[in-house]
Amino acid sequence: MDVEQIISDLRTLYPQNFFYLRHDPFYVLISTVLSHRTRDEITYRASSRLMDKFRSAQEMAEAEVSEIEELIKDVGFYRVKSRRVKEIAEILMYRYGGEVPDNCELLLELPGVGRKTANCVLLYAFSKETIAVDTHVHRISNRLGLVKSSTPDETEEKLKKILPRSSWKDINELFVQFGQNICRPVSPKCDICVLCNICPGLF
């Protein structure tokens, strides 16, 4: 399967940059934590409200949890996430002088940060060469037959072996949009899919 052609076809379909209103590391980190089990449009609004109020790790570390809750109450599990982002901010202040580390292992030590979140920070905030694999990337990679894997971490590992590095930065952005609009988990819109001619129909 021509992976580069898949990316080209999806880039034609989705030519605009999709993720993150801002690219500073703290914003990307916090907004990605808020995005877990929450629709993108809700995440963007909540992240904007929160980061307009608390613009740095120091300001958020000093905030009351109740203040954070009020600003992000639209997101899923907002009470848990309120405590989590405050704890993240406190750790950033204590360990890293308020800066977000650009190292995957250090990011993974932060509460609520898994590989997808860490890779989003590395990719979108620090322009590192990596692949951020969420449920859309995992599902579509398997549906298209690019990989055969059972977990997002395994998908990341296998995609890195078969994709040229020049394509890594595109995969998450394109597959998420494609997965939300066309290649949905249930009732995918195969009749209007630009990749229907090459999809093996694994679903």
CA dist., res. 188 & res. 66, Å (int): 40
Residue 124's φ and ψ, nearest 5 degrees, are -90, -25
Residues 6+ apart with CB under 8 A from 5: none
Q: What is the CB neighbour count within 10 angstroms for residue 192?
A: 9
Which residue reads 């093996």 in tokens?
Answer: 200
Q: What is the CB neighbour count within 10 angstroms for residue 12?
A: 9
CB 153 within 8 A of CB 138: no
CB 199 within 8 A of CB 170: no
* Token reading at 62: 């000093």
CA dist., res. 64 & res. 10, Å (int): 43
Residue 199, marked binder: no
Residue 193, marked binder: no
CB 100 within 8 A of CB 31: no
Which residues are documented as binding site? 183, 190, 196
Which residues are documented as binding site for [4Fe-4S] cluster? 183, 190, 196
